[in-house]
Structure 1
Amino acid sequence: MKHYIDLVIKAPKAMHTNAVMGLTYSAVHSYLSSNKIDNIGVSFPCRQLDLGGTLRLHSDELTLAKMISTDWLQSISAYVSLGQVAEIPNVLSYQVVSRQQSKMSPSRLRRLEKRGNRSADDLNQYRRKMAANILSNPYLDLNSASTGQMYRKFFRFDDVSHEINGKFNEFGLSRGATVPVF
């Protein structure tokens, strides 16, 4: 991974930056999924409490050049400034960007209730644990292309001292491969 592209969010006053970031991230996911690309990783270089206003894509020059030559971003181009493919500067550290999932969720609670094999006390205890285990990681609200349901994708960022090569999923995430931090 020697190159990158920055996608800078230009949210109108009526929309929150995170909402436009969700649309942008969904467009990236759609492109990666439909083209079966597993060598583009994502990062959020302006991340603080939320993900910030920049989505960075990391890959090789040819893959990124091919991506920006297509119209995959056309539907939201008014809200996103697409940078040029650039060479990654000197890197001091690396990061694994992955999905963080809660082991307790409202959908799991509904399934437990539907089965009918749990007592009311068990279900109340699950609700209390679920309320206590709320994730504080940055997230995006996304729409599932298959079900149309909105869901929350939480992100986890693990700093590592060296580069780890590997594949990325259709969301640009990996459990082990790193992206450079700069």
Structure 2
Amino acid sequence: MDHYVDVTIRSDADVGVNQMMGTLFYKLHVWLSENMPNRVGLCFPKMALTPGDCLRLHGTETDLKAVIGGNWRYSLLMFIQMQPVRPIPANVQFCTVQRVQRKSVHNRRLRSIRKGWLNETEVVSRIPGDHDRRLDLPFIVVRSHSSQQVIKIFIRQQVRFEPVEGGFTSYGLSKDGSTVPWF
């Protein structure tokens, strides 16, 4: 990963930043999974309580030029601004950007019954409802490409001092703790 490109949501867009980030994230996900799976990583340089208005893509110069020239962007051109592909600056830190999932109590109960681990009376006492804690992380709302369900993708970014080699998911998120440059 020696280059990056920033994709920013325009402040004058008629839709909300979070909604537009979800659309941008989804369109990139579909395009990346079909065209260059596991080769492009991303981060959210302005993430705080929400992912923010900037999505930074990391990869080789050739891969990133293919991404910014891809047909995924046509319906978004009036809502986003893409910077040119640039080399990564010297002396950067690194960041792991991961999806965090928490299984709901309801889903854990159904799975325990389906697998035969517990019956319907045991499941309520063995998996109480008070363990269903909410994740306190920024998230992106997208529609699943495969199931068409609306899902929340919770994101955790952790700064690292050493790079970790590895691949990326079809969402561009870290797989096996892989890092992207952070600056």
Q: Aligned to 1:38, what secondary structure does the other structure show?
A: coil
Return the offset for 1:31: 1.0
C-alpha distance after superposition, 1:83-105 (max 9, x if no partner): 11011112331111111111435
Maintained 8 Å contact 2:4/2:86: yes
3-state SS in 1 of match to 2:136? coil
State the alpha-carbon separation in 2 of the partners of residues 4 and 13 from structure 1.
Answer: 24
Q: How many aligned residue pairs are there?
A: 180
Specify every segment of 5 or more residues in structure 2 that has no aligned partner in the other structure, as ranges: none
Question: Could you say what the CA RMSD is over the residues aligned between the two structures, in angstroms?
Answer: 2.4
CA spacing shift, 1:12–1:113, aligned 2, 3 Å: farther
Q: Which residue of structure 2 aligns with residue 97 of structure 1?
A: 97
Note if contact 2:112-2:123 (Cα within 8 Å) is conserved in structure 1.
Answer: no
Q: How does 1:1-182 map to 2 (within 5 A)?
A: 1-10=1-10, 14-109=14-109, 117-119=119-121, 122=124, 126-130=128-132, 133-174=133-174, 175-182=176-183
Which amino acid in 2 is paired with 1:118?
E
- TM (norm. structure 2) is 0.87
TM-score (norm 1): 0.87
In the alignment, residue 74 of structure 2 is paired with which amino acid? Q
Question: Any stretches of 5+ residues in structure 1 without a counterpart?
Answer: none
Q: Could you tell me how far apart the structure 2 residues matched to 1:165 and 1:124 are? A: 40
Contact 1:46/1:52 (<8 A) preserved: yes
- Equivalent residue letter for 2:141: D
Q: Percent identity?
A: 29
Q: Which amino acid aligns with 2:130?
A: R
Structure 2 Cα separation of the partners of residues 2 and 163 of structure 1: 12
Seen in structure 2, the aligned counterparts of structure 1 residues 83 and 144 have a Cα distance that, compared at 3 Å, is same
Call closer, same or farther: CA 1:36–1:66 in 2, change over 3 Å: closer
Separation in structure 1 between the aligned mates of residue 178 and residue 152 of structure 2, nearest angstrom: 23
Q: In 1, Cα distance between the equivalents of 2:35 and 2:137? A: 29
